[in-house]
Amino acid sequence: MSIFPGAKGDDILAWRGIAEVVGEMRRTNADRIAGLFSEEEIDLLNGLKGRLEAELAFEEQFSARFTQALAAVEGARFEDDFTPLMSRFDMLVAEYYRKRGSVIALHSLFAACRDGLVRAGLQRVEEWLETEGEGRPPAPYCCLGGGSVGRMEQTFCIDSAYLLIHNDDSPASAGYFEKFTYRAAAFLARIGLLNSIGATATLRAFRHVGRTEWRREITEELARAGRENLSELVRRADLRLIQGDASLADEMINLVWSMLESRREESQGSSFPLPAIREFGKETAEMPGGLDFFNRLRVEKHGGHRGEFDLEQYALLPLVTNVRMLAVSDGLHETATIDRIKGLQGRGVLSVELTERLLRAYHDFTRLKLNLQLSQGCEQERCRFVSPPELAPDEERQLRSGLEAVAGLEKLAYVRFTEQG
């Protein structure tokens, strides 16, 4: 089921906006309808029908405008064609979010438009290099998204992490893809898809590596013991194909998973995962939570954010990282946090009750983050701190409830990784 009327199959979203409106109407009006006489009931139902028609009209209009913007991406040929599209999409998504308040719908919209921009941008770079005499790509390549891009959890603030991997069987591959990466990274930075400042930082946000080098990096460098190596290896479980050769992407991502799932024989017959990953899982579960010993919000004690709560450090990060570690532990190859939570529940790792609380916590944490971004902008320090006295009573209650759910998740994760040892 899609979010836009008339959309079919695997289109951008589900009809989440309308479903949420209908659910709210049912909840808020069920008791009223039960106590009404027939004429009053008809009047109320006519009013609800009018509201539903208005909501459907909004969805249809938004669908048309978003589809037009996506079509503009496909038709863009020059940098000047691409430059206004980022702000156009941001305004559209902001409008939809303000109307619906759906975090998952926002993530899906951003994945659709930004993935489309990356794909179109890489295709244009191929065409430009061919026009300049460099020819077509001499070997298959794939562009993978990591971090929030790979998890399909992008927000208004760009948090880019792209990786281009190419087959290096051909002698011409290295030279071509070095030029290709430089041009692609510069182009994506100019249109607003990379948030790095300076050429070196931009190339870190859009990195390229040959297939042989990638294999060596995964099987030798990141396989070594050490917290940083293990942390990086686990983060690469977020990688997702954006553009390019699907078989090459599958091979490269499967290599990551083969290392995460390897060496069972070295674990003296114990269950997956390998001992170093289990220890890292326990460390992750011991991250400081958002509530202190006295069940108060953990606020900053010093500095410019004294008295404020770090939403990223104490709410979202513990939730996302612990869910990722449990997914890795269970061999669950989903990348999105929401999908991982549901997958873990389906495998019996999480109870139904904790699953519902974690899904609500993710939504509430991210909504606070999005509201900060809309009001404060995208400066990193400004869009992650909330002032508890400025929270509405419902917001503070939801934040506390979410933090309690994350504390329950951390306890479960710690016990699970301890028992595996």
Lowest mean pLDDT among 9-13, 92-96, 200-204, 223-227: 9-13
More confident residue, 416 or 199: 416
Task: Set out the domains of the chain in order of their start, with CATH numbers.
Answer: 1-75 (no CATH), 104-260 (3.30.460.10), 268-420 (1.20.120)
Q: Is the pLDDT of residue 339 over 70?
A: yes
- Respond yes or no on whether the N-terminal peptide bond of residue 137 is cis (omega within 30° of 0): no
Question: Helices 352-376 & 103-131, crossing angle to 10 degrees?
Answer: 60
Lowest mean pLDDT among 203-212, 276-285, 375-384: 375-384
pLDDT of residue 268: 40
Q: Which residues in 261-334 belong to E strands, given as ranges? A: 309-310
Across the range 150-168, mean pLDDT stands at 94
Q: Is the pLDDT of residue 65 over 80?
A: yes
Q: Is the pLDDT of residue 3 over 50?
A: no
pTM score, two decimals? 0.86
Tell me the three state secondary structure of residue 302.
Answer: coil
What's the CA gap between 324 and 160, in Å, rounded? 19
More confident residue, 88 or 419: 88
pLDDT of residue 142: 98
**185, 190, 191, 193 alpha-carbon torsion, rounded to 10°:** 50
Q: Is the pLDDT of residue 185 over 90?
A: yes
Lowest mean pLDDT among 8-12, 28-32, 256-260, 311-315: 8-12
Q: How confident is the model at residue 24 (pLDDT cuts 50, 70, 90)?
A: low
How open is the CA angle 314-317-323, to the nearest 5 degrees? 125
pLDDT of residue 50: 65
- Of 326, 247, 320, the residue nearest 280 (C-alpha): 326
Q: Is the pLDDT of residue 226 over 80?
A: no
- Residue 252: other Cβ atoms inside 10 A: 22
More confident residue, 9 or 407: 407
Q: Is the dihedral of CA 271, 276, 281, 283 positive or negative?
A: positive
Q: Is the pLDDT of residue 267 over 50?
A: no
Q: How confident is the model at residue 4 (pLDDT cuts 50, 70, 90)?
A: very low
